[in-house]
């Protein structure tokens, strides 16, 4: 009986001790219920005595018959002996003691790297898993230990008791932490955008392989990266030096040379100093020095001159198939008053002479005449040149732009100085000559004498076996004018004159002037091409755009073909007579050309005026001449040339006087001209021009001498008078004879009388005498009386 009672009590105790901790439907509720199964889980059996274990169970499906049959043998257990029971009690007591001792010990810090401890944990748990307790006493001991641990845990945590499976809790915690981390990464900004204090770093984040990549570099790392990039950019990069072709003109500044080489100006200055040239960046060096510098730096040089800007102005050579016949250009030359303009008037059937002051031509004129019958009409261009000695340059210019030269000689005056000069100009220009003997209607005309006189200057006419055509005409009586025209046309046919009209125009300025209301006007003879309205052209140091073209009859025309003289309006300034006119494609090219020409003209003038050495300046001051300053204003540029040439020729052989033209220009006299004359104490000469009202008032106030002329003779005569008044008295001594004193006679009334013998030359009464003794002058006086023996004479 006793054994049965003990067995029943043991069963009741087992039923009471086997209780299960379950989770309720609501979150956070725990409950202990009796276990339906008598079997103890392996997790509880294998758990060490120091911890609290929790068994998590879900709802299970009803067991199948096979499962229930298989579970029955597991529920049956054997009866514990006294020794086993005592062993279990001892184990329970040891567990309680170890628990008490564990509460007193401080919690050790958890390891920071969990991955490294997991292998150790598995190693420690492996032998534990192998341990199996075959007896029920061990299970009871574990149950009791679990109850005790649960009670202690509930006391520590405020009465709540629960038991967990450590393995399951670790796994669940890891899953939950990973879920939280993923949600946090989704909600937050990218790791590269988070600041330095974006959140605390946990062990899980550190162990996560993707964390460092997602988090991105820190601010310090970014700052270090920026510093490295800055250091790399500041480091001098190894660049390959570029070599250039440097264009060098005749002169160039150091700064411009360095810019063209793309080198530092300081390096260029150093290179020059090594060569012994001390120059700053603003100083100019020549092309040879610049070439040495360019070679020093390894570049190549291309030498050009400023004159290269004019290359291409004349255009290319014309093909023979493009050439067309053009009118001949005939220049009429000869001595003054030999009838050149009258002959031209007879050919043109006009009266130009009446419009010229003094009846002499003082301008160069160009006209075009149609000659021949109605069907065979041909155009001939005539250029009339002055015959006065002052207009040498005009005649030379007329000879250079002509095809045929007609030299007019008066039958009653024969060959004169300007006739000889005209022959020389024609020969120098290489143009054929036609002799026109004019004024054959006069009673004293001697044509044969003219032909004889021409032989002295190598002009042999056809009648005398030469090749020079000679025509006798009378302009006043209009005699044999057809013969002269036939001779001109015959000579033109021999020359076969032609030009290409379908190209850019090219011409020569015959005369240039300034006209009120029209501006600068140039008479231009077209050599080749066709000049049209709107064309941009350069002429000398001026440029312009053709506004109007006016022929010799005063009619406006739209274009001028080769061989036609026209007046061109639209100039920006007044050119010089003899300048070449060339049409350019655009305004930029025109400006570039005139800039070069003006600079060249300015440099030439400055070089001519400047004294190069101190010795020359001292010589100039020592041999200073009396100078007459003149300001010349005229209606045309040719008149200025004539007046200037005449004034310089006048004082060519005079060592005391000099005439200096300080300014000359085309147009009327202005206030600025008067102001310049006042500052230079100069004479203002106006040739066929007048001063405006303001200039006249200013000249009266400043006492400036204004003189007006319309004939060049009067200009020269007046300047001669002014220069003669500037001449100082000059004593010149000339030795005309020598006499030797042979005896001295003492006369009481007259004092002493010298008896002399004339040894050389002539002794005249009233001459100055000088008495010498041993080559020393002892007396100077005048010879009052001169007697030869007893006769009084004027000279001996």
- What is the tens place of the pLDDT at every residue in 229-272? 888 777 666 667 788 888 888 888 899 999 999 899 899 999 99
The answer to whether position 185 is within a domain reads no
Please report the DSSP string for 462-490 in residue order: GGGTSSBEEEE-BTTTTBSHHHHHHHHHH
For residues 691 and 638, state if they share a domain: yes
**Alpha-carbon span 341 to 356, nearest angstrom:** 10
Helix, strand, coil share of the chain (percent; to 5): 40, 25, 35
Residues 6+ apart with CB under 8 A from 410: 335, 337, 338, 339, 437, 438, 439
Contact 326, 404 (CB under 8 A): no
pLDDT value for 606: 65
> What is the Cα–Cα distance from 314 to 545, expressed in whole angstroms?
18
**CATH at 598:** 2.40.30.10
H or E element that contains 781: strand 776-782
Q: How far apart are CA 282 and CA 271, in angstroms?
A: 15
**Residue 559, in any domain of the structure:** yes
140 in a domain, yes or no? yes
- 8 Å CB contact between 391 and 363: no
Which of the pair, 83 or 42, is modelled with greater confidence? Answer: 83
Instruction: For residues 492 and 510, state if they share a domain.
Output: no
Q: What pLDDT does residue 778 have?
A: 86
This prediction has a pTM of 0.49
CA-wise closest residue to 366 among 574, 162, 523: 523
What 3-state DSSP class applies to 535?
coil
Cα–Cα nearest to 332, from 525, 495, 484: 484
Determine the Cα–Cα distance for residues 452 and 699; give it in Å rounded to an integer: 55
pLDDT at residue 573 in the model: 87
* Model pLDDT, residue 538: 92
Q: Is residue 355 located within the same domain as residue 488?
A: yes
Cα–Cα distance for residue pair 328/379, rounded to 1 Å = 8
Bridge partners (DSSP) listed for residue 544: 537, 571
- Hey, how many other C-beta atoms are within 10 angstroms of the C-beta on 734? 5
- Is residue 179 assigned to a domain? no
On the question of pLDDT at 310 being above 70, the answer is yes
pLDDT range class, residue 158, cuts 50, 70, 90: low
State percent of the chain over pLDDT 90. Answer: 6
As beta bridge partners, residue 434 has 406, 469
Q: Which residues contact 4 (CB under 8 A, 6 or more apart)?
A: none
What is the structure's pLDDT at 186?
A: 60
Q: What does the buried/exposed string (b/e) look like for 531-565 if buried means 16 or more CB atoms within 10 Å of the residue's CB? A: beeebbbbbbbbbbebeebbbbeeeebebbbbbbb
Model pLDDT for residues 370-392, shown as the tens digit of each residue: 876 666 778 888 887 764 444 45
**Domain assignment of residue 763, yes or no:** yes
Q: Give the containing element (helix H, strand E) for 82.
A: helix 82-104
Q: How far apart, in whole angstroms, are the C-alpha atoms of residue 401 and residue 366?
A: 11
Return d(Cα 435, Cα 408) in angstroms, integer. Answer: 6
Instruction: Answer whether residue 42 is part of any domain.
Output: yes
Q: Is residue 599 part of a domain?
A: yes
Domain boundary among 466, 496, 526: 496
| DSSP per-residue string spanning 135-160 | SHHHHHHHHHHHHHHHHHHHHHTTS-
My answer on whether 550 and 629 are in the same domain is no
Which of 164, 199, 232 is the last residue in one of the domains?
Answer: 164
Instruction: Please name the residues in contact with 41: beta carbons below 8 A apart, sequence gap of 6 or more.
Output: 55
Whether 759 has a pLDDT exceeding 50, the answer reads yes
Q: Give the integer Cα–Cα distance in Å for 16 and 5.
A: 17
**Helix, strand or coil for residue 164?**
coil
- Are both 491 and 512 inside the same structural domain? no
| Confidence class for position 80, pLDDT limits 50, 70, 90 | confident
CATH number for the domain harbouring residue 300: 1.10.10
* Pair (471, 544) in one structural domain: no
Of 186-190, 218-222, 424-428, 454-458, which gets the smallest average pLDDT? 186-190
Instruction: List alpha helices for 297-439, DSSP H.
Output: 340-348, 392-400, 417-429
Domain assignment of residue 680, given as a range: 625-726
pLDDT at 536 (0 to 100): 92
| Residues 459 and 332 placed together within one structural domain of the fold | yes
Q: What is the pLDDT of residue 12?
A: 56
Handedness of CA 570, 572, 576, 580 (dihedral sign): negative
Determine which of 138-152, 458-472, 525-539, 678-692 has the lowest per-residue pLDDT on average: 138-152
Interatomic CA distance for residues 602 and 590, integer angstroms: 18
Given this model, what pLDDT does residue 784 score? 83
Domain count, the chain: 6
Considering the domain architecture, whether residues 475 and 435 belong to the same structural domain is answered as yes
Domain containing residue 703: CATH number: 3.40.50.10050
Residue 195 lies in a domain: no
- pLDDT given for residue 270 in this prediction: 92
User: Is 22:30 a contact under the CB 8 Å cutoff?
Assistant: yes
What are 683-713's pLDDT values in tens digits? 899 988 888 888 888 888 888 888 888 888 7
Comparing 158 with 292, which gets the higher pLDDT? 292
pLDDT per position as a tens digit, 33-65:
554 444 444 444 444 444 444 455 555 554 444
Confidence of residue 434 (pLDDT cuts 50, 70, 90): very high
Q: Order the strands of the 365-371 sheet from edge to edge.
A: 365-371, 378-384, 329-334, 404-410, 433-438, 469-472
Tell me the pLDDT band of 546, cut-offs 50, 70 and 90: very high
| Residues 109 and 133 reside in one and the same domain | yes
Q: Which residues pair with 594 in a beta bridge?
A: none
481 & 582 share domain: no
Q: What is the mean pLDDT of residues 582-589?
A: 89
Neighbours of 77 (CB within 10 A): 14
- Above 70 in pLDDT, residue 193? no
> 189 or 658: whose pLDDT is higher?
658
Among 8-12, 313-317, 641-645, 768-772, the least confident range: 8-12
Same domain, 107 and 134: yes
Which has more pLDDT, 639 or 726? 639
pLDDT of 163 over the 60 cut: no
Q: Identify the CATH number of the domain in which residue 387 sits.
A: 3.40.50.300
CA atoms within 13 A on the CB side of 210: 6
Q: CA gyration radius for the chain? A: 66
Residue 612 has pLDDT above 50, yes or no: no
Least confident of 56-60, 185-189, 335-339, 721-725: 56-60
Residue 361 clears pLDDT 50, i.e. is over it: no
Q: What percent of the chain has pLDDT over 70?
A: 68
Burial grade of 446 (CB within 10 A; 0-12, 13-18, 19 or more): middle
The mean pLDDT value of the chain amounts to 75
Last residue of a domain, one of 164, 188, 207: 164
**Parallel, antiparallel, or unpaired: how do β-strands 329-334 and 378-384 relate?**
parallel
**pLDDT category of residue 14 using cuts at 50, 70 and 90:** low
Query: Between these two residues, 453 and 650, which has the higher pLDDT value?
Result: 453
Element (H, E) at 438: strand 433-438
**Domain check: are 470 and 353 in the same one?**
yes
Q: Which of 432-436, 456-460, 733-737 has the highest mean pLDDT?
A: 432-436
């Amino acid at each position: 009986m006793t054994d049965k009672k003990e067995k029943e009590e043991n069963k009741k105790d087992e039923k009471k001790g086997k209780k299960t901790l379950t989770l309720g439907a609501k979150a956070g509720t725990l409950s202990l219920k009796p276990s339906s199964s008598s079997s103890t889980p392996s997790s509880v059996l294998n758990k060490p005595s120091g911890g609290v274990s929790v068994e998590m169970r879900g709802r299970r499906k009803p067991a199948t018959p096979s499962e229930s049959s298989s579970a029955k043998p597991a529920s049956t257990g054997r009866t514990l002996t006294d020794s086993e029971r005592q062993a279990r009690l001892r184990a329970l007591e040891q567990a309680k003691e170890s628990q008490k001792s564990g509460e007193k010990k401080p919690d050790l810090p958890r390891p920071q790297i969990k991955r490294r401890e997991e292998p150790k944990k598995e190693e420690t748990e492996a032998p534990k898993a192998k341990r199996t307790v075959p007896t029920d006493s061990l299970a009871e001991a574990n149950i009791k230990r679990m109850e005790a641990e649960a009670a202690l845990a509930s006391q520590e945590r405020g009465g709540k008791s629960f038991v967990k499976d450590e393995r399951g809790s670790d796994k669940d915690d890891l899953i939950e932490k990973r879920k939280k981390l993923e949600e946090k990464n989704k909600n937050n900004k990218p790791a590269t955008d988070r600041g330095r204090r974006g959140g605390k770093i946990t062990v899980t984040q550190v162990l996560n392989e993707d964390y460092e990549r997602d988090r991105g570099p820190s601010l310090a790392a970014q700052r270090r990266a920026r510093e490295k990039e800055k250091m790399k950019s500041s480091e001098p990069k190894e660049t390959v030096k570029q070599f250039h072709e440097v264009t060098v003109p005749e002169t160039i500044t150091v700064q411009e040379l360095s810019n063209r080489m793309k080198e530092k100006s300081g390096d260029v200055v150093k290179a020059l100093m090594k060569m012994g040239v001390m120059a700053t960046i603003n100083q100019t060096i020549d092309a040879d020095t610049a070439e040495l510098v360019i070679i020093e730096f390894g570049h190549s040089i291309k030498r050009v001159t400023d004159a290269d800007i004019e290359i291409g102005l004349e255009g290319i050579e014309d093909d023979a198939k493009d050439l067309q016949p053009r009118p001949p250009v005939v220049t009429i030359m000869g001595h003054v008053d030999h009838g050149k303009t009258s002959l031209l008037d007879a050919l043109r059937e006009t009266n130009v002479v009446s419009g010229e002051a003094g009846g002499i031509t003082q301008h160069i004129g160009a006209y075009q005449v149609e000659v021949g019958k109605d069907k065979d009409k041909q155009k001939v261009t005539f250029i009339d040149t002055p015959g006065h000695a002052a207009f040498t340059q005009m005649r030379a210019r007329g000879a250079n732009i002509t095809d045929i030269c007609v030299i007019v000689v008066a039958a009653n005056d024969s060959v004169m100085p300007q006739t000889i000069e005209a022959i020389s100009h024609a020969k120098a220009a290489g143009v054929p000559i036609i002799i026109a003997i004019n004024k054959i209607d006069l009673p004293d005309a001697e044509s044969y004498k003219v032909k004889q006189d021409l032989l002295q200057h190598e002009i042999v006419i056809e009648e005398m076996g030469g090749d020079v055509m000679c025509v006798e005409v009378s302009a006043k009586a209009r005699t044999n004018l057809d013969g002269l025209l036939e001779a001109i046309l015959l000579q033109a046919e021999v020359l076969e004159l032609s030009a290409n009209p379908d190209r850019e125009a090219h011409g020569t300025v015959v005369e240039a002037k300034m006209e009120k209301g029209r501006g600068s006007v140039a008479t231009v003879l077209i050599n080749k091409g066709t000049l049209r309205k709107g064309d941009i052209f350069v002429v000398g140091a001026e440029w312009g755009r053709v506004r109007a073209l006016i022929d010799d009859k005063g009619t406006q025309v739209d274009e001028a073909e080769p061989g036609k003289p026209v007046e061109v309006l639209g100039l920006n300034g007044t050119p010089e007579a003899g300048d070449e006119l060339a049409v350019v494609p655009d305004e930029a090219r025109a400006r570039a050309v005139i800039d070069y020409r003006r600079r060249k003209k300015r440099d030439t003038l400055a070089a001519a005026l400047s004294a190069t050495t101190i010795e020359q300046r001292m010589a100039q001051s020592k041999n200073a001449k009396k100078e007459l300053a003149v300001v010349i204003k005229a209606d045309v540029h040719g008149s200025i040339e004539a007046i200037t040439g005449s004034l310089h020729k006048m004082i060519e052989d005079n060592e005391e006087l000099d005439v200096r033209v300080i300014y000359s220009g085309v147009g009327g006299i202005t206030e600025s001209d008067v102001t310049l004359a006042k500052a230079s104490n100069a004479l203002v000469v106006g040739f066929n021009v007048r001063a405006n009202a303001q200039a006249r008032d200013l000249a009266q106030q400043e006492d400036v001498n204004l003189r007006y002329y319309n004939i060049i003779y009067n200009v020269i005569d007046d300047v001669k008078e002014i220069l003669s008044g500037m001449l100082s008295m000059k004593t010149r001594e000339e030795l005309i004879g020598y006499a030797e004193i042979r005896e001295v006679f003492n006369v009481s009334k007259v004092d002493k009388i010298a008896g002399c013998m004339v040894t050389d030359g002539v002794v005249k009464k009233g001459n100055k005498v000088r008495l010498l003794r041993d080559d020393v002058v002892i007396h100077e006086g005048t010879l009052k009386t001169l007697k030869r023996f007893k006769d009084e004479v004027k000279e001996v």
